[in-house]
Amino acid sequence: MPRLVPTSIAMLLLSCGAAWAQHEGHDHGQPTAVKPSDAPAQPPAEGQPKIEFETMEHDWGRISDQTDVSFEFKFTNKGSGKLVFTQQPRGSCGCTVPSLDKLEYGPGESGAIKVTFHPQGKHGDTNQRITVNTNDPTAPELVLKVHTFVRTTVAFDPPLLSFGEVPAGQTAKQIVRVNGPRASSDGTTADFRVTYASASRGRYISVKVLDTKPVTIEGEEMSQTTLELTLNGNAPRGTLAAVTTVRTNNEKYPLSDLQVSAEIVGDLQILPPRVNVGIVEPEKPFTKIFRVSSRADKPFQITGVEQKSNLPNKLDVTVTPAADGKGYQVEVKGASPSVAMPITATITLTTDQPLDPKLEVQVNGAVRAPMPPAPPAIQPQLQQDPGQTGPGTAPVKPATTQPLRDELPKKP
């Protein structure tokens, strides 16, 4: 046998490698790249539905709150497949009710979604939406829109009455106008008017019915009754909420209510009216400042400080005259506990003013929950040497690669 030289060995290996690659690629079904042109053709798409509406929006204009209105949104299936509504159309509120006779429509078939709007309890501009879901792949969800301006049969002007801030012990007056329909042309109903009015907080608010006269509002003939509301000086400090109820000669609306509010204040005011310390880290100090001043710039004295708090330690409250000489600056210091909890406290200031003998300030906040400790770091473990019998670890030795010439048959 002739002796193999290194060059011959290399040539032999190259030839064997090429033959092996050819053998593996063809004899054993090795996958090969497939050109896009070789991929099997996709089956043709089936017929698809397509919904088209004649209009997507409707405006009823000005309507009375006593009359329901309706409109039909007409549509056609312009596709080649069956159009299916996955559910009945849905209105954005209970006052807007859509309805559909059936849920499936063939190609070219038309239908309509009837929308009925109930205006009772609404007033002014009203916008509603109707959501439509179908199997149309290009528009699986559509939104129809309706709009109207609802004219209330009995309307208060203003619709909500606020006296605003009223100094304690002083009176205040407000005028309210109540509008209603004029007499019907057939004479079955008379001009609207208020026959009686009362307030739920009658100890502090009184109501008087003045006159009724014809008026024109936004081009519409109306009948208007004027009311006078009086807030007497007996109401306590704080927010006052009341309801004024009027009795009318309208059969459908014999009673109507008006919300009334007022803020009874003294001469002294606190800014800000509430102190918020926010979210405090555990075992951390916090400081907040508020100011007490006179609305009329009158001199006064703060004679005492009391507090109630859910904190384990009392707050440190310091009262000093303001830098501008008007009122006082109150500094509140505290320390948060080590556990998560809300912070609630009430600071009561005693003054020498007869209208404001005591002032209360609410202090609120919260202590953040402490962060959990970080988990211990995981130390990487080395593989143990199979030949090592005792404890300990050692890296695994890599397998050695024999020279290529040792793989060839030896010369006999």
Tokens at 44, concatenated: 């043709």
Length of the chain: 412
Q: φ and ψ at 330, to 5 degrees? A: -115, 120
| Cβ partners under 8 Å of residue 93, min gap 6 | 128
CB atoms within 10 A of CB 205: 24
pLDDT at 187: 75
The whole model's pTM is what? 0.56
Rounded-to-integer distance, Cα 105 and Cα 111, Å: 8
Rounded-to-integer distance, Cα 153 and Cα 132, Å: 33
CB 57 within 8 A of CB 147: yes
- N-to-C CA span, the chain: 9
Rounded-to-integer distance, Cα 351 and Cα 303, Å: 5
CA-angle at 329, arms to 323 and 334, nearest 5° = 135
- Spell out the domains of the chain, with CATH numbers in brackets: 51-151 (2.60.40.10), 155-265 (2.60.40.10), 268-367 (2.60.40.10)
Tokens at 183, concatenated: 């007499």
Within 13 Å, how many C-alpha atoms sit on residue 61's CB side? 0
Q: Mean pLDDT of residues grouped by 10 in the chain (412 residues)? A: 44 45 44 43 64 96 90 96 96 93 95 95 89 96 95 90 93 96 83 95 95 90 95 90 95 91 92 92 94 92 94 94 90 93 94 90 92 73 56 51 48 48
User: What secondary structure, in 3-state letters, does the chain show?
Assistant: CCCCCHHHHHHHHHHHHHHHHHHHHHHCCCCCCCCHHHCCCCCCCCCCCCEEECCCEEEEEEEECCCCEEEEEEEEECCCCCEEECCCCEECCCCEEEEECCCEECCCCEEEEEEEECCCCCCEEEEEEEEEEECCCCCCEEEEEEEEEEECCCEEECCEEEEEEEECCCCEEEEEEEEEECCCCCCCCCCCCEEEEEECCCCCEEEEEEEEEEEEECCEEEEEEEEEEEECCCCCCEEEEEEEEEEECCCCCCEEEEEEEEEEECCEEEECCEEEEEEECCCCEEEEEEEEEECCCCCCCEEEEEEEECCCCCCEEEEEECCCCCCEEEEEEEECCCCCEEEEEEEEEEECCCCCCEEEEEEEEEECCCCCCCCCCCCCCCCCCCCCCCCCCCCCCCCCCCCHHHHCCCCC
Q: Of 123, 126, 130, whose CA–CA distance to 145 is shortest?
A: 130
